[in-house]
Amino acid sequence: MTKKKKEASDASMSKEKPLILVTNDDGVDAKGIRALADVARMFGRVIIVAPGSAQSGKSHAITFSSPIRLRKIYAEKDFEIYKANNTPVDAIKLAQCVLLKEQKIDLLVAGINHGSNSSSSIFYSGTMAAVIEGCINNTPSIGFSLCDYSANANFEAAKDVAYKIIKSALENKLPENICLNVNIPNIALSDIKGYRITRQAKNHWQEELEERIDPIGKPYYWLSGYLLDLDKGEDTDEWAIQNNYVSIQPVQPDLTAHSFIKTMKKWKFN
Amino acid sequence: MTKKKKEASDASMSKEKPLILVTNDDGVDAKGIRALADVARMFGRVIIVAPGSAQSGKSHAITFSSPIRLRKIYAEKDFEIYKANNTPVDAIKLAQCVLLKEQKIDLLVAGINHGSNSSSSIFYSGTMAAVIEGCINNTPSIGFSLCDYSANANFEAAKDVAYKIIKSALENKLPENICLNVNIPNIALSDIKGYRITRQAKNHWQEELEERIDPIGKPYYWLSGYLLDLDKGEDTDEWAIQNNYVSIQPVQPDLTAHSFIKTMKKWKFN
């Protein structure tokens, strides 16, 4: 006979402090998510629910053709860690619907990502997808990314930045339909010139698909590339981070080209 | 000794006709993509590059931690079919960078999706991610979805709709930074009331994570749910399809909440 082991976060959590959900796409063991959890714990009780393995570039992917899993790996007073499979958005859905079904999440923070999520990278990022998923479900949500892809990146300045932005977002009450995409230059705190509220730069990636031949003679391709620097505006996320500012892009989960609706209504379809 | 088999689409293609790339997220064998290719072939030479297996819900996910593959499975004059692994956006990158590196894609069409991609579903959809990826790279791009999830859906009316919209988009010249998300109600052509230019409804999914217990006693979860009907606006994609109109949502690959930038510039971060 099987024994039902139900995951439910209610054991070690105080009820009065804000409830903060922390996730990422680099996986639960990444240095960046531990840095962000350290910061989040200054504001409330923290639950990490993050992918068990690296899920960079998984965007808003969800898993419905195979089952998903959730496993508690650590708990102390007001701090719990769960591994979720597969994607960051799966993790958010498991956290909201399985772990916290009766509880309101006061804040969702994601990251600190190893590497920037500026410009069109926001579309590929699992970290920012988790943030957008939170926002779609009316949870105040902020994503943090440090412009350093290395596993052993130094998150000290980023932690200070994250603290200040979370504090400001809680004080100013982030509106329900807006979330934030924060990109932090990889420099010492004393070299950061300040904070810029930015728009998403209109850049895209220059792909480099390297062809190799497998042992039986068939080609395969490795996807890599670099972000082109096409948009020269000084109000962009790219400009900010290249000029030693923290970029804060307010993001809305609406892809409609509202300004084009009027023009398009004149089109004929027959 | 291995033999290098390089994929390159240049054999059977005329140069004078428009080049149309067709993809989807239901996989290269889906009924919907064949229906869309039938329509696209009325406008030019067609290359299908689509996932080898179903990739619904894979959003803008890309594969860079393992190799990706591309394989020609069919060719006749002005019509070729390729299987690409893994995701729809991988397929677009393989098509653009490996197959068509010197050639301009005149139009990218994706679908016809088995099931709607209205409201927040646009964020999960691999079909619409392929369209947005095309748009980011300045290719005129249109996604088509029929509001019927069944594998054997009837695409006859949808083919007529797709023809009219492609014709109009080519005549009116879709701007570089705008793509289209077309949702088609699952009714006979004679019952379609017309075409509405819409905005993305502010709805989200009500998740239902069904818990089951595996043979060794551990829980697993199946993700399912339904789209909530929260946004009652009559200018939305949801309203259009529920009222027997074709919904055409102009989409821009920019998630910035432009209207909130001014407000946010007053926030303090110290």
Residues of B in contact with A195 (CB under 8 A): 269
Identify the closest residue of chain A to B6 by CA–CA distance. A219
Q: Among all residues of chain B, which has the CA nearest to that of A3?
A: B217
Q: Is residue A145 part of a domain?
A: yes
Task: Provide mean pLDDT across the span A108-137.
Answer: 98
User: What is the tens place of the pLDDT at every residue in B222-236?
Assistant: 999 999 999 999 999
What is residue B270's predicted lDDT score, i.e. its pLDDT?
83
Question: Is B182 within the bounds of a domain?
Answer: yes
Chain-chain contact of A67 with B221 (C-beta, under 8 angstroms): yes
Select from A94, A122, A137 the Cβ nearest to the Cβ of B255.
A122
Residues 6+ apart with CB under 8 A from B192: B157, B161, B184, B185, B244, B245, B246
The mean pLDDT of A74-93, rounded to a whole number, is 97
Q: What are the start-end ranges of the E strands in chain A?
A: 19-23, 45-51, 69-76, 79-85, 107-114, 141-146, 179-184, 194-197, 205-213, 219-227, 245-251
A10 versus B219: which is more confidently predicted? B219
Examine residue B170 and state whether it is found in any structural domain, yes or no: yes
> What is the average per-residue pLDDT within B22-37?
98
pLDDT at B58 over 80: yes
A5: pLDDT strictly greater than 60: no
Q: Which residues in chain A touch residue B105, judged by CB atoms under 8 angstroms apart?
A: none
Q: Please check the confidence at residue B3 and state whether its pLDDT lies above 50.
A: no
A127 contacts in B (CB within 8 Å)?
none
Cβ-defined contact of B200 to A261 (cutoff 8 Å): no
**The Cα angle at residue B204 between residues B200 and B209, in degrees rounded to 5:** 150
The pLDDT value recorded for residue B16 is 82
State how far the alpha carbon of B141 is from the alpha carbons of A57, B22, B133, B137, B218, in Å: 22, 10, 9, 10, 45
**Cα distance from A180 to chain B (closest Cα, Å)?**
9
**Is residue B260 in a domain?**
no
Contacts of A39 in chain B (CB under 8 A): none
Residue B8 pLDDT > 70, yes or no?
no
- Does residue A4 have a pLDDT over 60? no
pLDDT value of residue B14: 65
In this complex, which of A58, A220, A256 lies closest to B251 when CB atoms are compared? Answer: A256
Q: Cβ–Cβ of B204/A124 closer than 8 Å?
A: no
| A262 falls within a domain | no
- The answer to the question of residue B238 being in a domain is yes
The pLDDT of residue A15 is 67
Residue A117 predicted with pLDDT over 60: yes
Q: Read off the pLDDT of residues B86-126 as tens digits, 9 standing for 90 and up.
A: 999 999 999 999 999 879 999 999 999 999 999 999 999 99
Query: Which residue among A93, A194, A213 sits closest to B209, beta carbon to beta carbon?
Result: A93
CATH code of the domain covering residue A82 = 3.40.1210.10
Tell me the average pLDDT across B238-250. Answer: 98
Contact B218 A5 (CB under 8 A): yes
* Chain A residues lying within 8 Å of B87, measured CB to CB: 61
Give tens-digit pLDDT for A202-254. Answer: 999 999 999 999 999 999 999 999 999 999 999 999 999 999 999 999 999 99
Distance in Å, alpha carbon of B46 to nearest chain A alpha carbon = 22
Q: Which domain holds residue B171?
A: 19-204+233-254
Smallest Cα distance from A246 to chain B, Å: 11
Q: Do B2 and A248 touch (CB under 8 A)?
A: no
| Identity of the residue in A89, A199, A209 whose CB atom sits nearest the CB atom of B261 | A199
Q: What count of CB pairs under 8 Å joins A to B? A: 258
For chain B, what is the mean pLDDT? 94
CB contact under 8 A, B136 and A67: no
Percent pLDDT > 90 in chain B is 92
Domain count for chain B: 1
* DSSP reduced 3-state for A241: helix
**Which residues does chain A have within 8 Å of residue B51's beta carbon, measured at their own beta carbons?**
none
Neighbour-count burial for A246-262, b at 16+ CB within 10 Å, e otherwise: bbbbbbbbbbbbeebbe
Q: What is the pLDDT of residue A58?
A: 97
The predicted pLDDT at position A35 comes to 98
Closest Cα in chain A, distance from residue B78 (Å)? 24
Please state the three-class secondary structure of chain B as a single string: CCCCCCCCCCCCCCCCCCEEEEECCCCCCCHHHHHHHHHHCCCCEEEEEEECCCCCCCCCCCCCCCCEEEEEEEEECCEEEEEEECCHHHHHHHHHHHHCCCCCCCEEEEEEEECCCCCCHHHHCHHHHHHHHHHHCCCCEEEEEECCCCCCCCCHHHHHHHHHHHHHHHHHCCCCCCEEEEEECCCCHHHCCEEEECECCCCCEEEEEEEEECCCCCEEEEEEEEECCCCCCCCEHHHHHHCCEEEEEEECCCCECHHHHHHHCCCCCC
- CB nearest A67 (choices: B54, B90, B222): B222
**pLDDT tens for residues B134-152?**
999 999 999 999 999 999 9
Phi and psi at residue A182, to the nearest 5°: -105, 125
Closest by Cβ to A178, choosing from B3, B67, B257: B257
pLDDT band at A102 (very low <50, low <70, confident <90, very high): confident
- Residue A1 has what pLDDT? 37
pLDDT, tens digit (0-9, with 9 covering 90-100), for A126-180: 999 999 999 999 999 999 999 999 999 999 999 999 999 999 999 999 999 999 9
The pLDDT of residue B209: 93
- Give the model's pLDDT for residue B9: 57
Which of A6, A119, A123, A222 should one mutate to test binding to chain B, selecting the residue with the greatest count of B CBs within 10 A?
Answer: A123
Task: List the single residue in B with minimal CA-CA distance to A172.
Answer: B267
